Structure formats: structure tokens, C-alpha cells
Amino acid sequence: MSSRPKATPHVHISEPHVRVTEWRFAPGGETGWHRHEADYVVVPLADGELLLEEPGGGSRTAQLRRHAPYARRAGVEHNVVNANPYDFAFIEIEHLKP
């Protein structure tokens, strides 16, 4: 069990075809392990780094830029950790198939 603080999700929109969630992280905060069941887009709300822990014990650091979105396909599995010494947040938009 991790001793890291948990990231806080706030769902802004939840419809049959789309879900928009704002994720807020304290320094060192994490989402916890999860698998994305839908395609998604992330829009960072600040510049910063996220540590992406991946299956098999690997990890990598992603450099994010404020308002520069990126997209991923369904099936991604990871734990997302705020690697910054400050609070960090992003908007996640999931394309839910009916």
C-alpha cells in the first residue's frame, strides 16, 4: 500500500458519450494504479512533470506544458504521480463509446 497522498478527481461532465474530470495532485500525490477503458485526452493546467509508473516495474517522466493537450488510446495502464514540488492539475476528457 502506498503512503503517497491520493489525487483528487472532480467530474465536471458525465454523459453517456464523454466524461470530463479535473485531477488535482498535492506534491507526490498519485492516482493509484488504473487501466484506461476509453480513449482520452489530457490538458495540463500548468507546466510540470508527472512520473508514470508502468506495469513490470518500469517508470518514466513526462514533461507537460500548460494547455498543450495529448491523446492516448484505451488500454493504457499506469499510476500517475506528481513529480513536482508544487500542486499540479490536469483535465482528462474520456471518449466513452455508447
pLDDT score for 74: 97
Strands (E), 6-58: 8-14, 18-25, 34-35, 39-44, 48-53
pLDDT score for 97: 76
pLDDT score for 53: 97
Please report, for the chain, the start and end positions of each structural domain, with discontinuous segments joined by +. Answer: 8-89
Report in angstroms the alpha-carbon separations of 6 from 19, 33, 42, 55, 70: 20, 11, 18, 19, 23
Q: In whole angstroms, what is the distance from residue 15 CA to residue 30 CA? A: 25
pLDDT score for 1: 62
Going across the sheet that includes 34-35, the strands are 34-35, 77-82, 48-53, 59-64
pTM higher than 0.85 for the full model? yes
Residues of the chain with pLDDT under 50: none
CATH class belonging to 8-89: mainly beta
